A and B are shown apart, each in its own frame.
Chain A
Amino acid sequence: MKRRIPPHWILIAPGLLVFAVAFLIPIGRLAVMSFQENLPEGGTGGFVWDHYVKFFSDPHYLRIFGRTLVISAVVSFICLVMGYCLAYGISRAKEGRKLLLLMIAAMPLLTSATIRNFGWIIILSRKGLLNELLLSVGVIKEPLSLLYTPTGVVIALVHVLLPYMVLILYSVLEGLDRNLESAAANLGASRFHTFRLVTLPLSMPGIIAGTLLVFSISLSFFVTPSLIGGPKVQLMATEIYNQTINLLNWPYASALALILLAAVLIVTNLYNRALSRSRTEANPFHV
């Protein structure tokens, strides 16, 4: 007698097939290649550790990695501050306005990062909007050079990632039991104390989750460093692209990509833990 295949396997079979062919195999192939010798004209040879040794012993690459970590950390912090202000404001807005405000905050998600970065190029360039504005007001004497600097990358990258932060923080702040705030206020706490001792601690899971999410996305973000940073601000993503497309050193690019993946996975793992903790602890007053 023929055994029947369970229906759920039939339902997920097409997905598994696609993922095996176009996801698991290519990533496995990349992992293998990161241990292969790089031969001229795109050839690959036997097993070597060289690419990893090269990365961890060459200050040039370590500096790129360090710069990536620092920029990602700065971006996450700024996103957190701005995102918190926005999410707090939206969660306290009148019911009818909430959806509109949330949509404005999330709208950039609908337009590609390339187009939004293009807007930043117009604003940040030497004769751009920001410089003209600041010069005419008299704040600065010389035009600032923001394009092709880490500052420019941070400004544009925060813009790309802010919606994620707002959405996460908003869902946490909206889910808070507002009676706790009223209770604190009734018991004589000032607005600032209520915020610091009640609202802020209760929204901590969202703060952690949002920050880690933004951090992990910005670690590997390519478009902004490529367009706004240019060759002067090398980050991991642009260096990996450079190794793949311009230098054709695929084994080294693979090793760099895997190192980046390791960093991203560490952050994502922390994120998942923070998220599962937030589900059990976000509202300690409801079991």
Chain B
Amino acid sequence: MFKIGWLRIANGLIYLYILAPLAVVIISSFHPGEYLIFPPQGFSWRWYEHVLMSGRYTEPFWNSVKIAVVTTCFSLPIGTLAAYALTRYDFRFKNAVQSLFLSPLVIPTLLFGIGLLIMFSALGVKMYFTRLVLAHIVLTIPYVVRTMLASFSQINRSIEEASVVLGASPARTFWLVTLPQVKSALAASAFISLVMSFDELVVALFLTGPGLNTLPIMIYSDIQFNLSPSIAAISSLVIVATLAIGALLIIFMQQRTRKSTDIEDPKP
């Protein structure tokens, strides 16, 4: 145990380091001038108006939202079913299947993106939206599988058994008994999947083409070639929106855990 004072100062500086880039982005988004400088000289909403009105980021934003939503609509059920099979059944190649579903966490996304680019161009597939969504489904499934594996292995199996004994089919049991018990894990998986897909840049750089621009690509290329306070404004909007959704999710999950602990243990 070090002297706490010494550690406190060090940690204060580290927290400053963690928060500085985000704070700087948000603060500089209010700069009224044309060029990105810090600290901003004055205060204006000008770049927010520009971002929201000019339409430069509108289409990429909606593209990213669409990709994230469609991706999650696939990765959430696919990952949940796979995680359920992996926790409830014992079968040959189970470990291999589990490692396969988790392996995109290990494989560099760069390599995965190039592999897909090579395959799609060999096949002549030019549907940029579809191929990007397919890639994002693979990239987000590991997060869903990991979250749901943990959640399924925690819930009480005797409730499921009771449901089957009382005559419900396995599918009905899964839908009416199992899933409601893992609601908060489902919400967390969906959130992670949405954010991952919405923010994903590397694979998108390889797989998009003319006519399909995503928000991360737009921000990335503007940082390189078109540095202006409008990037700070759109980035701040993304930061605030993500944090707000994340905070809502945490509140939702805490309420759920409070409720479930109430049932199990009525005593304080």
Contact = CB atoms under 8 A, between A and B. Distances in A.
B248 to A, nearest CB: 12
A114 B114 contact: no
B22 interface: yes
Interface stretch (B50-58, B77-85, B156-164, B175-183): B77-85
Interface string A249-279: 0100110011011001100100000000000
Contacts of A9: 85, 91
A82 interface: yes
Interface in A89-122: 89, 92, 103-105, 107-108, 110-122
A77 interface: no
Nearest to A11: B85
A119 B21 contact: yes
A198 to B, nearest CB: 10
Contacts of B3: 191
Interface in B100-126: 100-101, 103-104, 106-112, 114-119, 122
B257 interface: no
B112 A8 contact: no
B231 interface: yes
Interface stretch (B6-14, B41-49, B259-267): B6-14
A243 to B, nearest CB: 9
A250 B111 CA distance: 11
B24 A23 contact: no
- Chain A interface SS verdict (over half): helix
A222 B109 CA distance: 9
Contacts of A181: 1
B168 interface: no
Contacts of A16: 97, 100
Given A240-B110, A260-B108, A192 B2 contact: yes
Interface residues of A, number: 80
Given A104-B19, A181-B1, A19 B111 contact: no
Contacts of A159: 17-18, 21
Interface in B130-156: 134-135, 137-138, 141, 145
Contact of A257 (B108, B224, B232): B108
Interface stretch (A25-33, A52-60, A203-211): A25-33
Interface in A14-45: 14-16, 18-19, 21-23, 25-30, 33
A231 B232 CA distance: 24
Given A11-B84, A14-B78, A265-B106, A30 B111 contact: yes
Given A8-B89, A260-B111, A25 B219 contact: no
Contacts of B28: 122
B199 to A, nearest CB: 4
A162 B13 CA distance: 14
Nearest to B7: A89
Given A15-B101, A85-B11, A195-B1, A222 B202 contact: yes
A222 B108 CA distance: 10
Contact of A115 (B1, B114, B141, B235): B235
Given A86-B14, A115-B239, A257 B82 contact: no
Given A108-B18, A111-B243, A191-B3, 15 more contacts: A6-B91, A9-B91, A14-B78, A27-B111, A33-B118, A92-B1, A114-B219, A119-B20, A122-B24, A122-B38, A185-B1, A199-B1, A223-B202, A240-B111, A257-B111
Interface of A: 6-9, 11-12, 14-16, 18-19, 21-23, 25-30, 33, 82, 85-86, 88-89, 92, 103-105, 107-108, 110-123, 127-129, 132, 159, 162, 181, 185, 191-192, 194-195, 199, 216, 219-220, 222-223, 227, 237, 240-241, 244-245, 250, 253-254, 257-258, 260-261, 264-265, 268
A-B pairs, top 8 by smallest CB distance, nearest first, are: A119-B21, A220-B108, A26-B115, A11-B85, A112-B199, A8-B89, A30-B115, A8-B85
30 contacts: A11-B85, A14-B77, A14-B78, A14-B82, A15-B81, A15-B101, A15-B141, A18-B138, A22-B138, A23-B103, A27-B112, A28-B115, A29-B119, A85-B7, A85-B14, A89-B7, A92-B4, A110-B246, A111-B242, A118-B231, A119-B20, A119-B23, A199-B1, A216-B106, A222-B109, A222-B110, A237-B110, A240-B111, A257-B111, A261-B107
Interface of B: 1-4, 7-8, 10-11, 14-15, 17-25, 28, 36-39, 74, 77-79, 81-82, 84-86, 88-89, 91, 97, 100-101, 103-104, 106-112, 114-119, 122, 134-135, 137-138, 141, 145, 170, 195, 199, 201-202, 205-206, 216, 219-220, 223-224, 227, 231-232, 235, 238-239, 242-243, 246, 250
